[in-house]
A and B are shown apart, each in its own frame.
Chain A
Amino acid sequence: MIRGALVREWQVLLRAKGAVINPLAFLLLTTMLFVIAAPDAITTDEASAVAPGVLWTLVLLTQLLALDSMYRRDFDSGVLEQTLVSAQVPFVTVLIRIFMQWLSTGFIMACLGPVLGVMLGLSFQALPATALALLLGTPALSLLGSVGASVTVGFNRGGVILALLVLPLFLPTLVFGADMVMAAQAGRSVMPQVYALSLISLVALALAPFATLAGLKISLEMQ
């Protein structure tokens, strides 16, 4: 059952390449726009004070953009209802969907992290920590975002409400993620931030799938 769901989600991912590529193009584009808008903020010879914050803010916005379509297609076509009704463990179905959403956004953004860091003028020693921070922090974004997406999927224009619901919840991830990059740049230990980001992601992992399930049920009744 789990294998079937995984295979299906994987195939959906492969066939809807736009859903993966568009947010990444958005991320690279906005990063470029920031560099062009504030060229003095990017200094390659010393540690940049704004780069970690800008990088994380843009990652948050990209995630928000991708979240809007997380359940939409399956919701509109009725697949979601059928899956939730027929699945023996709806919890696992939801978890797999969140995992795939993370794989197509958070994981790729983490791989792309060093590139973004170079674009924004982060010092070389901070690049591995940037990737690690994104790897540990983005699961929380997908999990918490999934709760917001599940409640707003039934709305015609849920985008703004999704942002209002979800962005305040992203704040802890932003704080520790940006701080981890900052600490790595300054040559300090990043272990406290590693623990904090892992904790936030694990707490979200424990609670968000249940809340998502409740949210999806509400949205399905709204149809």
Chain B
Amino acid sequence: MLGASLKRLWHKLGSPRWFFSLTTPWVTFFGWSAAILLLWGTIWGLAYAPADYQQGNSFRIMYVHVPAAMLAQSLYIGMGVAGFIGLVWRMKLTDVAISACLPLGMVITALALFSGSVWGRPTWGSWWEWDGRTVSTLVLFFLYVGIYALREAIAEAELRARASALIAMVGTINIPIIKYSVEWWNTLHQSASFGLTQKPAMPSEMWLPLLVMVLGFYCFAGFVVLLRMRSEILQREMNARWVGDWITGRGSP
């Protein structure tokens, strides 16, 4: 029973129209959740969370930096998974997903790098340290740039979809290897002690706002990705009847 209904769901996912009508309420849900969670987390984190006994108030950048860094990686892995599904099952929707995740992922990775740099100034004493995790985030940014350049270079939609799916997959497989090798490199080359790793575990007043912010960032990503996917679907299915009916208000998708 369950297997059959899962299989039906799987086949339905191949239809852009079905996806469009399914996600109409999701956009509202993710949008409002993101707005509430981000507002709540920001006020809680910036105004009410206690100051760090070593870093003072500068640690509050964490509430932007940590969610951004997590989301940056998740979006790339999401593209890799979408690419895998797209290559194996030839689903049209997966390329729509990749094209929606790509710009957001690039911006969020840049935000993670920038906020990390701003946080590094008071904590480590310099705007840029070649720390292991900084470098792997920078490499992640270049992985995004590579796919972006590839997509720009291929004019034909079907081939662009397959080429970027392949490269996203190869990149995703390489992410753990890159992370491990950069950690190895860092342990040998690191001369200064940042004192960040020895920090005691955070009290709950500090990490609960962080949790809210992380959830908020993921809801925001869900909101943006869905919006972009839906407008991309409308653009690609421009000539389909249901799109015309929906836009003129004569029918629902």
Contacts and interface: CB of A to CB of B under 8 A. Distances in A.
Do they bind each other? yes
Interface of A: 144, 147, 151-152, 155, 158, 160-161, 164-165, 167-169, 171-172, 175-176, 179, 196, 200, 203, 207, 211, 214-215, 218, 221-222
B228 interface: no
Contact of A165 (B146, B173, B181, B188): B146
Contacts of B39: none
B43 to A, nearest CB: 38
Interface in B152-194: 153-154, 156, 159, 162-163, 166-167, 169-171, 173-174, 177-178, 180-182, 184-185, 188
Given A151-B150, A168-B146, A215-B166, A179 B184 contact: yes
Contact of A171 (B139, B166, B173): B139
A196 B170 contact: no
B177 A214 contact: no
A81 to B, nearest CB: 15
A144 B185 CA distance: 21
Contacts of A221: 159
B87 interface: yes
B35 to A, nearest CB: 35
B149 interface: yes
Contacts of B143: 168
B142 interface: yes
A151 B166 contact: yes
B146 A172 contact: no
Interface residues of B, number: 29
B5 to A, nearest CB: 32
> Which of A155, A164, A179, A203 has the largest number of chain B CB atoms within 10 A?
A164
B145 interface: yes
Contact of B170 (A158, A171, A211): A211
Contacts of B87: 214
Nearest to A176: B181
Nearest to A150: B166
B182 A211 contact: no
A69 to B, nearest CB: 18
B173 A175 contact: no
Contacts of A214: 87, 162, 166
Nearest to A208: B170
Contact of B142 (A161, A164, A179): A164
Contacts of A196: 181, 184
A61 to B, nearest CB: 16
A172 B170 CA distance: 14
Contacts of B154: 222
A175 B146 contact: no
Nearest to B184: A175
